[in-house]
């Protein structure tokens, strides 16, 4: 018999497969995962935990999940001092015993079991490590770095996370809540002050250039250049220009002012007017005391107006039959900072608008609503006020027209939209960083540079504007946001947001005249200026200096825990 080389040998009758070693397979899997994680950590990405609230509410540190007992609005509340102690005082832990709602401003002490600070120990993020890929950050990126003043503490790395705003060789200015950049300002090192010391010193060691002394805070060259640029309307491309956030950055940094779906039953029962109210009789509502749906009929243009009606303390209304509540300018209060601890009360929460507080008027707003159009000839107008101007987006006949009213008023352009007839549309209109932005059903309308305008200040200030912030009673108090309609239109799901507001390092001491108070910082070559989104409660580059390139760990890319926060970081 001849055997083919391709024939298969017959199996032995009693042949058996070797037994599987389940324990060994499990251990091999564990080793593989550990090695893979180690390699990823060493060469690609690394996981970090956010402990503090300096980036709130873009990223959360230690926080409690709160649902306001008055209006039902849900928000995070800072609990870092309850977990890690008050590092600015004696380091002792301070239990958080209450909150202030950012929506209705109701202040509440926890009466039953206190929400645990470990609902989330802080966002867990993945960082794309700088040294193992081409690290080419762009302005506004969220980055992680070793703290220059103390890169390591108790044998562990001391890492910070902030948003990058300034690059080496640039001068960054903060003015009225916005940031500006100039790239050509020179600081002569030979200049001496009245005491014979260099006005613009250099350290003995180049490694120390990150320190705050070498940012030349409010140097004469920078402040004079800024004043000249401001007087010229910031038109010189070689001088200071406003930094405009991208859409993604703005959406990450926007903060709630008012969600009309969450209103206070108590205030309605006390006959406190609703914040959104019809100015004309051609509107009807689903509930006069707590309106959530507004229906318009008739050919005339009728208006809904928002007023920022803030109650300092609901308990003051207990004996009032018809309390008088006056509207106030929209400010930079952040619910995350509204914690109430058992030692200090509300340490970061001040209603007073006096010169010594850290509440500032915010004129950069975004209005959104849902408009159900039942008439082909209907018009919907979204309006946002800012100082002496009102900016309007007029939707009609498949077009949107942008109009600026008041000082330097003009038509800014007309653009196509997807609103071509009756239907339900989600509308957004924002005025942020001196640029108008529009969305219909979540899609941005491309208007190019037509919506951009130069920052301005009023020639004379409102009599009630004691800090010279630039707001007016007629616009920013009585009608900071409005919605107009003609023909058949129903408006629901109204929300009003504000932009984050940057303050200078010593704004608390110099807030008597906000228009005059600007802050300039030079960024030494090879360094970055990084600021926290929670500017009122952030230890960042304004205070301690810049970040050397050698200490930059990478770009924060992704939140992977808690599960309801999973997503890319903008």
Query: Which residues are registered as beta bridge partners of 179?
Result: 174
Please report where in the chains the tokens 């790395």 appear, as a residue: 157
Return the beta strands (E) in 289-364 as ranges: 293-296, 302-306, 339-341
- Peptide bond preceding 280: is omega within 30 degrees of 0, i.e. cis? no
CA dist 28 and 349 (Å) reads 54
CA dist 392 and 390 (Å) reads 7
For 491-520, give one letter per residue: b (16+ CB within 10 A) or e.
bbebbbbbbbbbbbbebeeebeebbebbbb
CA dist 127 and 135 (Å) reads 12
Identify the DSSP state of 119.
G
Question: What domains are defined for the chain?
Answer: 124-251+502-568 (2.10.109.10), 255-455+469-498 (2.60.120.560)
**DSSP helix/strand/coil, 67:** strand
CA-to-CA separations, 12 to 5, 17, 166, in angstroms, rounded: 19, 12, 76
| pTM, 2 dp | 0.87
Encode the chain (570 residues) as per-residue pLDDT tens digits.
Answer: 333 333 444 545 454 555 556 666 666 566 555 544 554 554 456 788 888 889 999 999 888 889 999 999 999 998 887 887 665 556 677 788 888 899 999 988 886 555 555 445 688 898 888 765 667 899 999 999 999 987 666 555 678 999 999 999 999 999 999 999 999 999 987 666 666 677 788 888 999 999 999 999 999 999 999 999 999 999 999 999 999 999 999 999 999 999 999 999 989 888 899 999 999 999 999 999 999 999 999 999 999 999 999 887 777 776 666 678 899 999 999 999 888 766 555 544 433 333 334 689 999 999 999 999 999 999 999 999 999 999 999 999 999 999 999 988 999 999 999 898 899 999 999 999 999 999 999 999 999 999 999 998 888 999 999 989 999 999 999 999 999 999 999 999 999 999 999 998 754 444 567 777 899 999 999 999 999 999 988 889 999 999 999 999 999 988 988 888 889 999
Provide the token pair at 238: 């070689």
For 143-154, give one letter per residue: b (16+ CB within 10 A) or e.
bbbbbbeeeeee
Region of 398 (left: φ > 0; alpha: ψ -120 to 50; beta: rest) is left
Q: What is the DSSP string of 437-502?
A: EEEETTEE---TTTTB------SS--TT-TT-----IIIIIT-SEEEEEESSEEEEEEEEEE---B
């Amino acid at each position: 018999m001849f055997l083919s080389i391709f024939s298969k040998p017959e199996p032995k009758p009693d042949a058996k497969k070797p037994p599987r070693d389940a324990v060994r397979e499990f251990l091999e899997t564990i080793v593989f995962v550990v090695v893979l994680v180690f390699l990823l950590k060493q060469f690609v990405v690394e996981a970090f935990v956010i402990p503090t609230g300096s980036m709130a509410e873009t990223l959360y540190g230690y926080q409690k999940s709160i649902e306001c007992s008055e209006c039902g609005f849900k928000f995070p509340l800072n609990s870092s001092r309850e977990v890690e102690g008050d590092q600015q005082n004696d380091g002792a832990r301070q239990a958080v015993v209450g909150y202030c709602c950012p929506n209705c401003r109701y202040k509440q002490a926890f009466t039953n079991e206190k929400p645990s600070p470990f609902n989330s120990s802080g966002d867990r993020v993945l960082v794309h490590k700088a040294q193992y890929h081409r690290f080419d950050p762009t302005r506004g990126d969220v980055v992680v770095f070793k703290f220059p003043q103390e890169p390591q503490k108790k044998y562990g790395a001391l890492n910070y996370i902030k948003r990058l705003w300034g690059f080496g060789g640039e001068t960054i200015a903060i003015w009225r809540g916005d940031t500006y950049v100039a790239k050509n300002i020179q600081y002569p090192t030979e200049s001496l002050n009245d005491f014979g010391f260099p006005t613009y010193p250099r350290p003995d060691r180049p490694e120390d250039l990150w320190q705050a002394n070498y940012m030349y805070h409010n140097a004469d060259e920078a402040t004079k250049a800024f004043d000249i640029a401001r007087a010229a309307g910031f038109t010189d491309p070689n001088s200071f220009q406003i930094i405009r956030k991208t859409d993604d950055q703005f959406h990450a940094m926007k903060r709630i002012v008012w969600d009309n779906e969450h209103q206070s039953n108590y205030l309605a029962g006390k006959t406190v007017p609703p914040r959104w109210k019809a100015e004309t009789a051609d509107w009807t509502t689903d509930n006069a005391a707590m309106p959530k749906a507004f229906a318009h009929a008739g050919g005339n243009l009728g208006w809904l107006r928002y007023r920022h009606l803030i109650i300092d303390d609901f308990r003051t209304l207990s004996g009032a039959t018809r309390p008088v509540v006056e509207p106030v300018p929209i400010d930079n209060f952040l619910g995350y900072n509204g914690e109430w601890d058992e030692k200090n009360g509300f340490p970061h929460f001040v209603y007073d608008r006096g010169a010594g507080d850290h509440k500032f008027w915010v004129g950069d707003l975004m209005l959104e609503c849902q408009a159900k159009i039942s008439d082909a000839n209907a018009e919907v107008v979204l309006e946002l006020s800012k100082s002496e101007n009102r900016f309007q987006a007029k939707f009609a006949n498949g077009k949107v027209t942008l109009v600026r009213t008041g000082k330097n008023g003009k038509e800014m352009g007309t653009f196509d939209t997807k609103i071509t007839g009756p239907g339900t549309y989600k509308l957004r209109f924002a005025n942020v960083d001196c640029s108008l932005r529009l969305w219909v059903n979540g899609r941005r309308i491309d208007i190019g540079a037509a919506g951009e305008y130069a920052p301005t200040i009023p020639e004379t200030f409102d009599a009630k504007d004691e800090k010279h912030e630039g707001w007016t009673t007629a616009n920013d108090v009585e009608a900071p946001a409005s919605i107009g309609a003609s023909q058949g239109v129903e408006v629901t799901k109204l929300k009003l947001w504000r932009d984050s507001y940057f303050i200078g390092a010593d704004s608390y001491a110099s807030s008597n005249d906000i228009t005059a108070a600007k802050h300039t910082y030079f960024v030494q070559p090879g360094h970055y200026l990084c600021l926290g989104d929670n500017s009122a409660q952030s230890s960042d580059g304004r205070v301690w200096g810049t970040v050397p390139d050698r200490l930059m760990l990478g770009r924060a890319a992704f939140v992977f825990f808690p599960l309801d926060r999973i997503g890319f970081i903008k």
